[in-house]
Amino acid sequence: MSSLISRRSFGKSLGAGLGVALLGGNSVLAQKRLRNISGFRYEVWEDYFNNLKHGAILADTKNRVLHYWSEDEAIYHLYPVSVPLTPELTRLGYTEVINKKENPSWTPTQAMLKRNPDWPTYMPPGPDNPMGTHALYLSWQYYRIHGTHDTRKIGRRASQGCIGLYNEDIATLFDLAEVGTQVLLI
């Protein structure tokens, strides 16, 4: 039986591993899992936010990980993500969730169409839609935190500006995050 974990299951394993580690357990499996999570590490929300009103999301483009804290601090999740292809496509700073959509449609921006003239001007929801199954719309025009059907993108510089998650992870985050959730991209 392999002790390695997939990128998809690292969040569950991280939670189990941290639980054992924080409780002082001596589990060899937990120690292996803690060392096998692509260098993702626990962050303290106070380093980035003044409060947790409506919860908080930290998207770390360098480490390609998204952190979520609930308002009552009862929930903390880490998710592997895809990040923008280049720094020019990356917007950094504070924003917030202003809308949430299940099965979002996709309309590429004019800049995207200029870079990729073969792309369609509109794509309805479905398995070919690059927005995946859920999307959190940010106060910055055109920027989203969304799922992806192309799981090869996760953990890579692969997006046109958005933060992408596995569809399973964005579904969980979608249920946790509310309109008004604070977001910081670093």
Percent of the chain topping pLDDT 70: 79
pLDDT value of residue 181: 99
Within-domain flag for 135: yes
Q: Are residues 116 and 61 in the same domain?
A: yes
Alpha carbon distance 150, 148 (integer Å)? 5
- Cβ count within 10 A of residue 182: 23
Kindly state the tokens that stand for 106: 């996709």
Given 54, 67, 134, 146, which residue is catalytic? 146
Cβ burial of 34 (10 Å; 0-12, 13-18, 19+) is middle
Name which of 104, 115, 94 is nearest 146 in CA terms.
104
- CATH code, domain carrying 55: 2.40.440.10
Decide if 162 is catalytic.
Answer: yes
Q: Are residues 2 and 24 in the same domain?
A: yes
Q: Are 77 and 173 contacting, i.e. CB atoms less than 8 angstroms apart?
A: yes
Decide if 77 is catalytic.
Answer: no
Q: Are 177 and 55 contacting, i.e. CB atoms less than 8 angstroms apart?
A: yes
Given 67, 134, 149, 162, which residue is catalytic? 162
Overall pTM surpassing 0.85 (yes/no) = no
Q: Are residues 77 and 133 in the same domain?
A: yes
Q: Are residues 31 and 61 in the same domain?
A: no
**How many structural domains does the chain have?**
2
Within-domain flag for 43: no
Q: pLDDT for 117-175, tens place per residue?
A: 999 999 999 998 999 999 999 999 999 999 999 999 999 999 888 999 999 999 999 99
Q: pLDDT for 100-130, tens place per residue?
A: 999 999 898 898 899 999 999 999 999 989 9
Within-domain flag for 141: yes
Q: pLDDT for 22-34, tens place per residue?
A: 333 333 333 333 4
Q: Are residues 125 and 179 in the same domain?
A: yes
Alpha carbon distance 148, 26 (integer Å)? 37
Within-domain flag for 165: yes
| Structural domain that includes position 8 | 1-37
Q: Are residues 91 and 4 in the same domain?
A: no
